Amino acid sequence: METNLVVGAGFSGAVTAYLLAEKLGEKVLIIDKKEHIAGNSYDYTDENGIKIHKYGSHIFHTNNEKVWQFLKQFTDLNTYMHRVVAVIDGIETTIPFNINTLYDVFPMSLAKRLEEKLLSVFDYNTKVPILEFQKQNDKDLKFLAEYVYEKVFLHYTNKQWGTSPKDVDSAVTARVPVFISRDDRYFQDKYQGIPVCGYTRTVERMLNHPNIEIKLNTDYKDIKCDFKRIFYTGPIDEYFDYKFGQLPYRSVNFKLETHNHEYYQSNAVVNYPCNYDFTRIHEYKYYLNDISSKTVIAKEYSEDFVLGKNERYYPVPKKENTELYDRYLAEAKKLNNVYFLGRLGDYKYYNMDQAIERAIEVFERIENK
C-alpha cells in the first residue's frame, strides 16, 4: 500500500493524518522537526502538577459545529471562557475595551455620558475596529477613541508587531476592537474550552491509529522515499529553499517563573499595553484549575523571527508579504499531489479551529476526487 507523508504534527498535520488513516484506510507517515507532537499547542504537566502551555496560552473556541464535534471525538473540553485583563493607568480592567471598561477607568459621570453616546451611534453587541472607531466627530467619542488607541492599542501593537498600528493589516487590527457590550469574554464563540486531558494527549489520541507512523526530530529533507501524496504544514518558503526570499514572521519568547504561592495574578492572562517590555503574563493553572501550592507564570516577549534562532509564530500581514507568498503559492500549484496547509503552509494567522477546518477541507477535496 502506498504511504502518504504528512510534514508537521500540529493540529493541521494530525487532523490530516487521522482522516487519511481512518476515512480512506491509507498508510501515513507523519514527521516533525520538534521532539514532540502537537506543534505549538504542545502542553505538559510540570513537577508542580500544573499543565504548562509551552508556546503560550491556547484557548480553543469556535462557532463551527463540525470542527467542535470532530475535536470531541478525542477529548472532553471544560467550560472555560477566556477573559483577558489589562493594566491601564495602574487599573486592572477587561479587554477588549467595552462598556464595563468605561466604568473601571473613568469617573462615573464621564463613563455614563460616554456609554450613552456610544449606544446612540453603534448597535449594542457590535465590535468596532479601533482604526474605524477613530473616525468620530463627536468631541467625547473622539476623546474616547484617542484614549483607547493610546492606552490599549498603540504601545501593545508596537511591542507585539514591532511596528505602528497603521502599518499592520486590518485583519490584525480587527482583533482588538472596541466592543459595544458588557460581555467581558475575550471570545464570543458558541463553543469554548480547554481539553481536559490537554492538547498533547488530544493529538496523541488522534494519531493513535494502526495506519499512522510517527517520526519526531525528523526534517523533511532527510526523507528520501516516494509518497502517494505529501501534506506540508511547514513553512512554504522553506519547502522551496527560499528561492524568492524569506517570508517574515514575528516570534515570541516565553520566560517561565515559578512562585511559592498559590496565585500570582488575578486572571489567566494579564496584558500590559503601556508598561514593561513584555506584552502579557500567562498563569497556567487557571485553565484546568490545577491544585498546587505553587504557581507558574510566563512573561511573553515579542521579537522578529530569525532563522535558526527562534520559532515562527505569526505571519506578518502586509501587502508585500502577501505578494511574496503568492509567488510561492504559484510554485506550489505546479506540483502534483503536494498540499500546503496550516499557519506556515498557507501563511495565514489561523486559530486552532481554523487550522482544523482547513485540514478537513483539504481532505474532503481529495476524498471527493
Q: What does the alpha-carbon distance between residue 277 and residue 243 come to, in Å, rounded to a whole number?
A: 35
Q: Does residue 273 form part of some domain?
A: no
pLDDT of 135 reads: 87
Same domain, 107 and 119: yes
Same domain, 228 and 336: yes
Cell matching residue 323: 505578494
Q: Does residue 327 form part of some domain?
A: yes
pLDDT of 328 reads: 98
Q: Does residue 290 form part of some domain?
A: no
Contact status, residue 187 vs residue 66, Cβ threshold 8 Å:
no
pLDDT of 161 reads: 86
Same domain, 335 and 204: yes
pLDDT of 13 reads: 98
Q: What does the alpha-carbon distance between residue 7 and residue 250 come to, in Å, rounded to a whole number?
A: 22
DSSP code per residue over 324-368 = HHHHHHHHHTTSSSEEE-HHHHTT----HHHHHHHHHHHHHHHHT
Q: Does residue 72 form part of some domain?
A: yes
Q: What is the DSSP letter of 221?
A: G
Same domain, 321 and 224: yes
Task: Work out how many domains the chain is built from and give that number.
Answer: 2
Q: Does residue 270 form part of some domain?
A: no
Same domain, 157 and 96: yes
Q: Does residue 281 form part of some domain?
A: no
Question: Dihedral of CA 109/114/117/123: which sign?
Answer: negative
Ranking 59-68, 157-166, 239-248 by mean pLDDT, the lowest is 157-166
Contact status, residue 312 vs residue 251, Cβ threshold 8 Å:
yes
Per-residue pLDDT tens for 165-188?
A: 667 666 665 567 899 999 999 999
Domain of 63, CATH number, reads 3.40.50.720
Domain boundary among 123, 155, 180: 180
SS (H, E, C) 27-78: EEEEECCCCCCCHHHCEEECCCCCEEECCCCCCEEECCHHHHHHHHCCCCEC
Same domain, 344 and 243: yes
Domain boundary among 131, 160, 180: 180
Same domain, 76 and 91: no
Q: Does residue 57 form part of some domain?
A: yes
Predicted TM-score (pTM) of this structure: 0.95
Per-residue pLDDT tens for 302-318?
A: 999 999 999 999 999 88
Same domain, 94 and 157: yes
Question: Which residues does 108 contact at the CB level (< 8 Å), separation at least 6?
Answer: none
Same domain, 72 and 89: no
Q: What does the alpha-carbon distance between residue 69 and residue 192 come to, in Å, rounded to a whole number?
A: 12
Q: What does the alpha-carbon distance between residue 12 and residue 264 come to, in Å, rounded to a whole number?
A: 34
Is the pLDDT at 249 greater than 90, yes or no? yes
pLDDT of 167 reads: 72
Domain boundary among 180, 201, 231: 180
Same domain, 236 and 347: yes
pLDDT of 173 reads: 59
Q: Which domain holds residue 126?
A: 84-180
Is the pLDDT at 59 greater than 80, yes or no? yes
Same domain, 241 and 321: yes
Q: Does residue 127 form part of some domain?
A: yes
Same domain, 205 and 341: yes
